[in-house]
Every structure is written in structure tokens, then in C-alpha cells.
């Protein structure tokens, strides 16, 4: 039986991971808003993680 999905969905076509280490917590906290305002990325698609346990609090 053939796969009926002929092409990827829009989300699959544009899905991309961006990694960045910031020098300060303030820079890291402002990055999502920059992505939303200047690049039109939906805030619900932005995920932030600390680099190690020392930076998670």
C-alpha cells in the first residue's frame, strides 16, 4: 500500500533547531521576544533550556 501523504506538512518543511549560548541571563531572556517580534515565530514554538545545572536557577 502506498503512502498517501505526498509532501510534508508546512510545519515539517520549516521546522528548524537553533542553538545559542548567551553571555548573560538577560540576553537569553530577551531572545524569545526578539524571535517573536522581528521574525514572526509563534512563542509557543520557542523552547529555552539552561546550559547545565549551574545556570538553571
Give, in order, the Cα–Cα distances in Å from 56 to each of 2, 11, 13, 25, 28: 47, 30, 32, 10, 12
pLDDT value at residue 1:
44
Q: What is the pLDDT of residue 19?
A: 84
| CA 7 to the chain's CA centroid | 23
DSSP 8-state code for residue 37: H
What is the pLDDT, as a whole number, of residue 30? 92
Q: How far apart are CA 17 and CA 47, in angstroms?
A: 10
Quick check: 26 and 56 in contact, CB under 8 A?
Answer: no
Per-residue pLDDT tens listing for the chain (57 residues): 444 555 656 556 667 788 888 888 889 889 999 999 998 888 988 888 887 777 655
* Predicted structure pTM score: 0.58
Residue 47 in grid coordinates: 523552547
Amino acid at each position: 500500500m502506498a503512502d498517501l501523504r505526498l509532501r510534508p506538512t508546512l510545519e515539517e518543511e520549516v521546522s528548524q533547531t537553533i542553538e545559542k549560548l548567551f553571555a548573560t541571563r538577560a540576553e537569553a531572556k530577551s531572545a524569545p521576544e526578539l524571535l517573536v517580534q522581528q521574525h514572526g515565530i509563534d512563542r509557543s514554538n520557542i523552547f529555552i533550556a539552561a546550559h547545565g545545572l549551574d545556570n538553571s536557577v
